[in-house]
Amino acid sequence: MANNTKILIIDDEPDFVDAFRRTFEAKSYQVVTASSRAEAEGLMETEPDIIVLGTLAPAGQAFATHKWLK
């Protein structure tokens, strides 16, 4: 059964992104990924239903991205 929920995963750590992507895809979620805020901005046109935000290095980038998403 297909799931129409779209999840955007944002993090610069490939292992983190891959683990979440595989988990969500196994449950038939649609998944898009970004490794930076700039890349995420370009993907917002896909209108994700859920956003998973990692800690993004350098320190503080995750907080700035969270503020931008808000």
> What is the structure's pLDDT at 26?
96
pLDDT tens figures, 1-11: 678 999 999 99
> What is the structure's pLDDT at 64?
74
The domains of the chain, with CATH numbers, are 6-69 (3.40.50.2300)
63 band by pLDDT with thresholds 50, 70 and 90: low
| Amino acid, single-letter form, for residue 11 | D
> What is the structure's pLDDT at 30?
96
Nearest to 35 by CA among 58, 56, 4, 62: 56
Helix (H) or strand (E) holding 35: none
**Alpha-carbon gap, residue 17 to 61, rounded angstroms:** 16
pLDDT tens figures, 37-61: 889 889 989 899 999 988 766 656 7
Q: What is the pTM of this model?
A: 0.81
